[in-house]
Structure 1
Amino acid sequence: MNIKPLLDYIENHVDLTLKEEAFLKSKVVCRKYLKGQYIIQQGDVCKHVCFVISGCTKTFYLDREGQEHVLSFAIENWWTSDMGSFISQTPADYNVLCLENTEVVMFLYDNSEILYTEIPKLERFFRQIVERAYTASQKRIVRSFSLTAKERYIIFKKEYPKIEKRIPQYLVASYLGITKEFLSKIKSQLAQKSQ
């Protein structure tokens, strides 16, 4: 598998020498998943953080009634994992499921300290990723309390135009915390407004 997209992504944040790149390559694992396969399941301890080379995943949890709640999606050049489980090495609260055949580069928990020791700038790089994820999560919480479903959908369309085209509408609805029927109603209102 070609991990150049990962190296390009890292280069946007920190400069790696050829020696550091070679060391990084020796410490990551490339893996292919089929559509419908889990990268992590609720209750398992998350042993890796994944960079998506190709494909699409959803992160979700199942409540006691078996109802699915979608937290996020990940496509090419995005990260996916249960970060809380990865950091604390405790059972995962979330599932990560492949919505398409997906290729990822995995950073294993057991190798993370070795990478940080050998390439200290990677620790700063991962700190920035976690900070951005935390900020996005906080924004999402505020939006879910303060915005209408229609406003949340408009923001979703604007921020994630590539994702909406690739996933079923019921997943968009779950992400927004509404029913697929209500999402259809919102979409038809917006379509009428734009005519």
Structure 2
Amino acid sequence: MNIPNILTLIRLLLIPVIVVIHYLPFQWTYLVAAVVFMVASFTDWFDGYLARRLNQTTPFGAFLDPVADKVMVAVALAILIEKFDSPMMTIPGLIIISREIVISALREWMAELGKRTSVAVNFIGKLKTTAQMGSITLLLLTKGNELGEGLVGFAGLMLLLVAAVLTIWSMIVYLKAAWPDLTPFKEDK
């Protein structure tokens, strides 16, 4: 057990905390849930930075880190889909969740072929994650139940739409990289 792995475990433990806080019957819960999500999001960046900087990458961390990220995003999006009850939230939310499932399966399959590096995280994926974390934080900060309400809500909605576009774009990049291994027959030249 090292510091990066501990941070990843903390991120996993914060997921039910965000859910419980969000549903507490107090006026301040939206603010606290957003702050807890933001802290959890920061651990995503920080644990990776420390693992590389301190040369503390482990197979356990390599497995758990993306799991924690995907579960955290999926749970937060589920909360927001229920909170806002709007196609403008549901459609991008489902796009993001679906992409995460597809790419996770693709990475697992490519790993079985010994070609996991061809679908390794790239800059678009990192940009997508940043947009997702930012949009979710802003949308959790939205006090009311109207999507796009106020400046924070509007910024959260716009960033969510950017995240959805980046989600599709990054999925296309990963699928394109894996396409030669996904097609059943190789063309003879």
- TM over 0.5, shorter chain: no
What TM-score do you get using the length of structure 1 for normalisation?
0.32
Give the helix-richer structure, 1 or 2: 2
Q: Which has the higher strand share?
A: 1
